[in-house]
Chain A
């Protein structure tokens, strides 16, 4: 009986831990800054807002610059995006950008590797 109880508690724990991203701060920042356009599941909106799920930009150092400075020119994905530019989120600190980058990569990048804040700081220094 006790064994079953332990098993039950263990399974509840594993359920809870599976449903939550380890990057909660990043998730909150994503919800506040990115989700309105890129959607909760990162799927974007047709050809108006690029999907993050299959984006080639994931995992690259470019991410930090795009989040911080936006993209004034049209974002193209196989040359099918016609309008829209991404606004800048200049108020975000390097820490916040790191949190967002890690949340996005952990959620949708196949080869997830944690990005360290020093990498983001270096990337932000060399933004064009």
Chain B
């Protein structure tokens, strides 16, 4: 059982002439938490649906735990848990009714497992799905993906629609499963959803895998926007331009805005001589990560 959790070679999907994903060569090791990152429409969902045999590749192939995703699809789906990106559920069933049905399709999912997960996520399983809020519906999907404790979890934008507290719960579940050796492959268009749980990240854009990096490397290269409010007018701000890592500086009305790449240390030392009132730093937008990677070119 040494085959990687996910391995694709030349995996390509065109919808007519529109590119879904092209020549994807990806390898995710067992026990790894892998973030699949890209803007909307980059090909993340296409990749995931190819892995589950919901759509068929134009060319190329994919394997999960050494099993071909076309030929051995049934076995692949048996050992996979899946949370769709655009989760749609039957509105008239109760949560427990629908989850029991999905559990029956998998055979041997204990009702207790469903109830335990639901309780953790504070999901009232007795209610009709149609009456649940968007976040609670998402929880039904999360329970469905996790309830059989699968070898591989494929989560398409798992935290979308959840409030920050529940996002935390889901990421906590991911960490827990990772700790017992499960493989997790999850997609997101937001770096900060991925960076706290994933070890490695693949970045897709326009249907191409443009980079696979460790989170540490990515973080170093990510461009962060920093805003510094000064307590009073300060003297020479021009010096900020020469600080290592600072890419862009502008100021006005006592606020300094900077784009910073990599470590903050040099900037903080420079700021120490200024009358800093507050300092805020936003999580880098994915686009900015790309820009830092490709020098603003769209050629990727």
Is B a genuine binding partner of A? Answer: no
